Structure 1
């Protein structure tokens, strides 16, 4: 099982909470699990292993969230999967920690929120409310400040079309935002709103944004996504993943002090306003997370610095670090990026003159030629030289490569590897090793590998997901006694992860 990677995993330092009788997190086992879920309307359950580092880091945050949610009667529970393996298997636990939201035993959904106390609390409060809360004059003010971002629709009581559209948006995005509805015309008038309209209330920037276009699901989604993103945000443990998955390019402003970040943010603010919704802008603490500059092809010891990352394609556009960061210089740089006039910076090792051994070496400059060869199934290991798990995998991976190289599938299946710290690749890699299969005829739909790291399991995976169903037989060897080992894990690294 993989101990799942989260952004900033290597930098988030937190001590595990000592077991105590007054914990607000309920420990469950097979004898108590079902009764507890039946007795509580809403429960967040953590499936963990005591040896898992991410579980230990989560523990104090989980405990704090349990305490804050106690008064709302939202329960947090945990299950030790080393003691309750059958129970964890029954609920599809494949990595640690795994968090699931239970509404009884028949309505179970994955937890998709952040792993800090505030994020857990916010997420579970959203889960406890209806998709759209009907608000009155007396409840509106409290609701407007119930979270960092809330959306309130002002709709006439007889406008069923607008109400249904807004409800559809709320059902789809209830994990991200709180949604409320006001049908009282007098309340709308007091807010300076003419129905139908949506007001997004937020605790940052201008405080609110108003939507007055015709209610359409996609248009409302775009409005909410843009208005809910700070004009000049901050890249940190709670925001990194959201920026990376937004599909919007991210402009980083690296600086070592809060004062410098504030000054640069103020200078660049008009540029961010001009490109709002098209490019996100955020500052980043260069003292704490300056190493991430290297992932953007910037020098990690020369700040302040500026770069744009095309998150969808993982392309990097570093601003010349020999130049001063000024409004005019950055405006020209960003305008050129938006107009498609900038060439991305590509970090690549030299293309190997010869491919030695059964595992093909990929670099950025030959990535497309090898990985996107539509006539072959290509299994790629994205590794880091310093990664202990990658080193442990190497002999098995070489054995896998040799197995295919010596088989009838040698011209149809490629076993390959790429140093993802030394080469830019278009894939989102959040931990090492990451292994993906790029099937022939379906290069736009790679399949991530999450099984055990044995030659037999790799072969089964390629046979199941590859075009050619290639499964060469491994030569039988005398069985050797093996000691029981801990489940495999992956190591988090600097590739698009701070």
Structure 2
């Protein structure tokens, strides 16, 4: 089966609710066709697009395939597809347009081109992958490129002014090598270079920018609005002094708004504390510092050194370890699990149960009897 809709958008899907069909009718007037495929009867076709479960959706744009990441109800599908019909990178025709189009709190990706070259096409494809994550702009104007001292066919990642520091570059140029220059290369480059030494981790950007570990996060009232930016930067710059020490390590540093990450703080038992500053680290396990009234760079350095040495103690939400244990069945909680189950040089049989579970209650006397 060959698709010829190179300038239109097409969605591959196994099956969908009536919402999908309603969206298809609404999108007819915009020339955006929706389609569905029965993956059970068209298995080879589904396999060719790595369809592993149903329903799944794909977007086809100019012969390239993208994962559909939008809503799945009628109006949401319509609005999202209308948005996808527009280029992910905005064309700017003047220096003023470019400056006003740059994001104030996130990195901005800019493509400078003299023509619709092969690199331009790859950049436009890359911008589709970056849609909704970072602002992408492009221009064909020579005077705009000259202002930024770049040559045509250049792709630059610009950090916003709030993240400029003496310890890092404020912009990064994508260097097209003989074996690179495709959309995947560009996306990978942007993913790496869009992360400042200490940036704000948000729900919007965490999957793209802060999914790798180890990650050290400082939580406080982060707010870059004009009236709060001074207080936000006061703490961030202290974090920067710590981050520069570990700049050559594989650790990333970030700040996060404590209200946005309230559930994460609850999982660390840091949500209902009076201190203003909370610090946590993630490296497959969770680690936390005691909360602080003011950020103490030396204490944080010592905390990270402890983690780097492998001597840090992971944090678990746990019931108290029972003071008295009457066998033959011992009660294990999160804080005693490693010692009781993972460390001893003996076999351990463990039952995970819920106090309200009827089957668990019925098993309990037999379980104890069998181990007596």
Q: In structure 1, how many angstroms separate the alpha carbons of the residues matched to 2:326 and 2:125?
A: 54
1:284 matched to 2:258? The reply is yes
1:151 matched to 2:117? The reply is no
Alignment of 1:253-292 (within 5 A): 253-255=219-221, 264-274=231-241, 275=243, 278-285=252-259, 290=262, 292=264
User: So what's the TM-score if we normalise by structure 1?
Assistant: 0.43
Q: Deviations over 1:41-91 (max 9, x none)?
A: 2349797779xxxx9xxx9xxx9xx99x9997667899xxxxx9x99x998
The offset of 1:314, in angstroms, is: 2.6
* Contact preservation (8 Å) 1:308, 1:316: yes
- Flag the 1:41–1:127 CA change in 2: closer, same or farther, 3 A: closer
Alignment of 1:23-34 (within 5 A): none
* Contact preservation (8 Å) 1:201, 1:209: yes
Q: In structure 1, how many angstroms separate the alpha carbons of the residues matched to 2:32 and 2:342?
A: 47
Structure 2 runs not aligned, ≥5 long: none
Q: In structure 2, how many angstroms separate the alpha carbons of the residues matched to 1:43 and 1:366?
A: 48
- Flag the 1:213–1:396 CA change in 2: closer, same or farther, 3 A: same
1:210 matched to 2:171? The reply is yes
User: So what's the TM-score if we normalise by structure 2?
Assistant: 0.53
Which residue of structure 1 lines up, in the alignment, with residue 285 of structure 2? Answer: 314
* Contact preservation (8 Å) 1:156, 1:195: yes
Aligned length: 320
Q: In structure 2, how many angstroms separate the alpha carbons of the residues matched to 1:126 and 1:143?
A: 24
Which residue of structure 1 lines up, in the alignment, with residue 276 of structure 2? Answer: 304
Q: In structure 2, how many angstroms separate the alpha carbons of the residues matched to 1:153 and 1:137?
A: 12
Which of 378, 382, 395 lines up with 2:359 in the alignment? 395
Partner of 2:162: helix, strand, or coil? coil
- Flag the 1:107–1:172 CA change in 2: closer, same or farther, 3 A: closer
Q: In structure 2, how many angstroms separate the alpha carbons of the residues matched to 1:93 and 1:74?
A: 25
Which residue of structure 1 lines up, in the alignment, with residue 215 of structure 2? Answer: 249
Q: Deviations over 1:180-229 (max 9, x none)?
A: 66676544213333567532257773699421475577798466445356
Partner of 1:103: helix, strand, or coil? strand
- Flag the 1:324–1:101 CA change in 2: closer, same or farther, 3 A: same
Partner of 1:245: helix, strand, or coil? coil
Q: Deviations over 1:11-51 (max 9, x none)?
A: xxxxxxxxxxxxxxxxxxxxxxxxxx99962349797779x
Partner of 1:332: helix, strand, or coil? helix
Q: In structure 2, how many angstroms separate the alpha carbons of the residues matched to 1:301 and 1:119?
A: 42
1:233 matched to 2:233? The reply is no
Which residue of structure 1 lines up, in the alignment, with residue 126 of structure 2? Answer: 170
Q: In structure 2, how many angstroms separate the alpha carbons of the residues matched to 1:266 and 1:223?
A: 24
- Flag the 1:262–1:144 CA change in 2: closer, same or farther, 3 A: closer
Q: In structure 1, how many angstroms separate the alpha carbons of the residues matched to 2:341 and 2:333?
A: 7
Structure ranking higher in strand proportion: 1
The offset of 1:281, in angstroms, is: 1.3
